[in-house]
Structure 1
Amino acid sequence: MLTALVYASGLPIAASHEHKAEETFEPMRYSGMRGVGAGWLRLRYQIGGALIVTLLPFLLLWGLNPKAFVDLDLVLATWAYGVLAMLLGVALLRSISQYPGVEGSAYTLPAFGISYGVMLIAVIFARLSYSRTLLIVGFVLVLAWFIGIHVIGVRRQVFSIGVVPEGDYLGLLSLSGVRWVIMESVSQDISGLHAITADLRVDLSADWDRRLADYALQGVPVYHTKHLAESMTGMVQLEHLSENSFGTLSPISAFMTVKHIGDWISALIAAIMLAPLLILIAIIIRLDSPGSPIFRQVRIGYRGVPFTVYKFRTMVPGGHAAGTLDAAKTKSEDARVTRVGRFLRRSRIDELPQILNILKGEMSWIGPRPEARVLSEWYESEIPFYRYRHIVRPGLTGWAQVNQGHVAEVSEVTSKLHYDFYYIKNFSPWIDVLIVMRTIRTMLTGFGAR
């Protein structure tokens, strides 16, 4: 699943439906794509830049403490281990990356996490000498390097993808950031195309079946249209629960248990460390406007069970009333929001008291945001399968929040639900890491706040 620690939110160039590719076909793989002309994505630039990056910790150490280089063998050995781990990570990344967009960027952390982990285990078991600090710093810098070149390279590159005009393919053409090329015949020249996509749910004609098999044998990526759309948009659209691509309607229980334990431990640590700050914020809220600094509201949580959520109050007393549908909605530039509340909402600091909900086992750090009971009941009556989002614990932040921001109307909530389904389908540590990184950006920019 998921980013590097960033979300390649669709490629930024508008799509067109041209019927002839103009680029020169050059076999090469990066995130499953072929023929990428941007130099940032070329293997020699990736590895060459990474080799320089692996030297940075050593240059920094030499500048800060030249005496550390007395044991030159230890320093050189650590650098060699880092280079080997980096090369292994590149090999893993190129072998497991299959889809552009969200999924194509998702494998950076797992690939290099595995490669450096394997290298560290090998060094420990072989009882070789190494510098733990230099190896860790090198890992962080290499990871940052590959994330950076992915973001720069993908955002600068326009991908050309051939579309087999059979089955349900028209919806794909509306996605921006890719030059969609309609395949007029099985004998069409594909030079200049980075990949081919087809609706693999339908019975394609025999000619196209044979041609797609030929493309795959030639090393040309062939994508399923529905999966490709999910990777590019970060959304999963469900029309019938009986006709879904989840494989199972229940997320992996083992990760859910580990995640729950990790949430509780980290919430306990956060509660202890942030206690002075939380008390200070409560005092400021009380001085800014009368009323309790803590807002309580009944929301629908894990497995559809109602629970009381805790937040810092950001509206005038009574402004959060959730007894009616309209009162439960927060509008843009809502007059009920206080001066302090506006900052708390923009920075998402108002969500911090939900640490208590995590400690009570009602919430997670990451998951679909819980809705007020009146809103949830309304959505359930208007949107098929809305209740399915309760299959995992709600979170302080989630995939929909970092991509879409705050929404309230049914038309917007439907899109939000598709983001939630994507999170549930790809329920894993990697998408959680990606959400954390994008949440930091959200806190700094105030994206989606109301």
Structure 2
Amino acid sequence: MIRLFKHYVPHTVLLLGFIDFTLLMLAAEGGWLLREWQIGGGVDPEASRLPNMLVFAATLELAMIGVGVYALDALRSMRFAVARLVVAISLGALLLALVFFLAPSITFWRSNLLYAMLIALLLLTGARVLLGRTLDGAAFKRRILVLGAGPRAARLEALAGREGAGFAIAGYIGMNDGPIAVADAVNRSDIVNLPAHVVRLGASEVVLALEERRNALPLADLLRIKTTGVHVNDLSSFLERETGRVDLDSLNPSWLIFSDGFSAGRRLSGLGKRLFDIAVSAAILLLTLPIVLLTALAVKLESEGPAFFRQRRIGLYGQGFEILKLRSMRQDAEVGGVAVWAEEDDPRVTRVGQVIRKLRIDELPQAWSVLNGEMSFVGPRPERPQFVSDLEARLPYYAERHMVKPGITGWAQINYPYGASIEDARQKLEYDLYYAKNYTPFLDLLILLQTMRVILWPKGAR
């Protein structure tokens, strides 16, 4: 993987993204040349239409990222890939219409745009037919050597066996630190020259997966491996990179304290984020006002009670605030004010509520909380005080998720379906900690783009 602005991106995704951008540029040029040939006109110099081509390629590339063209299911299935490419190109056409309205100097003729999009669909689909199996092959997987052969090493074995894993395990070395949990592990005492063994296996990285690390770190071995040019990593850092979340099972306080992350130097990016929140929340409140009012009317007509409701949530630094939402449940959804987890196919949800929850329309009034500064567009979802008290007592490091401002969408929301249990909360906490630790404007942009995928293909919305 390659680290971009503190966030890890698989080599295969970067390579495919570069290929796609090149093909989009070719499609834009092809559409232009086809139209010129059709009308029998002379071909303008390439430099004169380069801005148009760049805007075309960049807009469609962003749409492709947003709808999940580079997600695992789309990379492994042609059916998913083609479906999402069609949606991405259609969405890209709408975005380009807006861009061309704001900047007429870089516009395409309508026939140019149609030709370019058809060519783009053919080229992008063809690239996936030709490269699909190659990108998922062993040639693009990093080979790692695991120091350890116990349950922690077995976790890596299971992770490497999953579809889409970006690494393959070259071998395991038993370090006499506990019971053996993986097959084919070689005992350290049977290896005469460990650095030579690492090189012979073709490993580019060594992962430390010992069961007991106190007074047991093989410092001499690690030093020799490091000086051969092979990267050495601990289990927590490796899992964070490969899964996009902070693994609670392998986590210890010292790793959180001394690892890279939770940077305090965020004043400039924080100011930019706040200005973005103010501008976009004001625009959303203005533009979606008719939708909100019509939905509020539908809510009132279907069931008794107010169309909007306020609910207490926990925000930045554990401070409470109230969010405003469109009501999607019956007025008597919670008896006596006792907080209850939402369930799949929850009977308390009204018919209008089922629709607005899937389309996220019920979340639109929360833009007011963003405008007030109590929330941001991107961040961990704020929970209710009753749930927070319970989760802080049962989940380690839960309070640390409140060190960043809560958001309407977030890293956990785009990577994990709606949670309705302690185990779900634990999984989402791992994603929230990753976001808090690795926050950058780049990660915010990535989350905002991929929120479109969640809206278009909702999974577990409740």
| TM-score with structure 2 setting the length | 0.66
Map of 2:441 onto structure 1: 429
Cα distance in 1 for residues equivalent to 2:347 and 2:309: 17
Higher mean alpha-carbon deviation, 51-60 vs 348-357, is at 51-60
Q: Following TM superposition, by how much is the alpha carbon of 1:287 offset from its aligned partner in structure 2, in angstroms? A: 1.7
Within the alignment, does 1:173 sit opposite 2:157 as a pair?
yes
Runs (5+) with no aligned partner, structure 1: 9-29, 32-39, 87-100, 102-130
Within the alignment, does 1:383 sit opposite 2:395 as a pair?
yes
What code does the residue aligned with 1:196 have? E
Within the alignment, does 1:365 sit opposite 2:355 as a pair?
no
If asked which structure has higher relative contact order (CA below 8 Å, sep 6+), I would say: 1
Q: How does 1:10-409 map to 2 (within 5 A)?
A: 31=11, 51-63=22-34, 72-73=44-45, 75=47, 78=50, 132=106, 152=132, 156-158=136-138, 159=141, 161-166=143-148, 169-170=152-153, 171-175=155-159, 176=162, 177=165, 178-180=167-169, 181-183=171-173, 184=186, 185=191, 186=194, 187-188=196-197, 193=202, 195-199=204-208, 203-216=217-230, 223-237=233-247, 239-244=251-256, 245-248=259-262, 250=264, 252-320=266-334, 323-324=337-338, 327-409=339-421
SS, match of residue 72 in structure 1: coil
Map of 1:124 onto structure 2: none
What code does the residue aligned with 1:302 have? L
CA RMSD of aligned residues (A): 4.2
Higher mean alpha-carbon deviation, 373-382 vs 178-187, is at 178-187
Q: Following TM superposition, by how much is the alpha carbon of 1:328 offset from its aligned partner in structure 2, in angstroms? A: 2.8
- Residues 260 and 355 of structure 1: is their aligned pair in 2 closer, same or farther, counting only changes over 3 Å? same
- Residues 449 and 2 of structure 1: is their aligned pair in 2 closer, same or farther, counting only changes over 3 Å? farther
Q: Following TM superposition, by how much is the alpha carbon of 1:313 offset from its aligned partner in structure 2, in angstroms? A: 0.8
| TM-score with structure 1 setting the length | 0.68
- Residues 191 and 291 of structure 1: is their aligned pair in 2 closer, same or farther, counting only changes over 3 Å? farther
- Residues 340 and 2 of structure 1: is their aligned pair in 2 closer, same or farther, counting only changes over 3 Å? farther
Cα distance in 1 for residues equivalent to 2:244 and 2:388: 23
Moved over 6 A (4+): 1-4, 40-43, 45-49, 65-69, 79-82
Cα distance in 1 for residues equivalent to 2:423 and 2:450: 24
Higher mean alpha-carbon deviation, 362-371 vs 395-404, is at 395-404
Identical columns (%): 28
Cα distance in 2 for residues equivalent to 1:50 and 1:286: 48
Map of 1:19 onto structure 2: none
- Residues 333 and 77 of structure 1: is their aligned pair in 2 closer, same or farther, counting only changes over 3 Å? closer
- Residues 2 and 405 of structure 1: is their aligned pair in 2 closer, same or farther, counting only changes over 3 Å? farther
Cα distance in 1 for residues equivalent to 2:461 and 2:376: 20
Q: How many residues align?
A: 362
Cα distance in 1 for residues equivalent to 2:14 and 2:366: 45
SS, match of residue 309 in structure 1: strand
Cα distance in 2 for residues equivalent to 1:322 and 1:438: 38
Q: Following TM superposition, by how much is the alpha carbon of 1:68 offset from its aligned partner in structure 2, in angstroms? A: 12
SS, match of residue 321 in structure 2: strand
SS, match of residue 299 in structure 1: strand
Cα distance in 1 for residues equivalent to 2:435 and 2:394: 21
Cα distance in 1 for residues equivalent to 2:318 and 2:422: 19
Runs (5+) with no aligned partner, structure 2: 59-71, 73-104, 174-185
Is the CA contact 2:33–2:43 (under 8 Å) kept in the aligned structure 1?
no
What are the superposed Cα offsets for residues 195-244 of structure 1, whole Å, 9 maximum, x if unpaired? 3232399743424422332144xxxx554432221121111135554541
Q: Following TM superposition, by how much is the alpha carbon of 1:344 offset from its aligned partner in structure 2, in angstroms? A: 1.6
Cα distance in 2 for residues equivalent to 1:375 and 1:164: 39
Q: Following TM superposition, by how much is the alpha carbon of 1:266 offset from its aligned partner in structure 2, in angstroms? A: 0.7
Cα distance in 1 for residues equivalent to 2:324 and 2:308: 7
What code does the residue aligned with 1:163 have? L
Q: Aligned match of 1:416 in 412, 424, 428?
A: 428
- Residues 194 and 242 of structure 1: is their aligned pair in 2 closer, same or farther, counting only changes over 3 Å? closer
What are the superposed Cα offsets for residues 315-351 of structure 1, whole Å, 9 maximum, x if unpaired? 1112156832xx4311122110111111222222211
Cα distance in 1 for residues equivalent to 2:294 and 2:369: 20
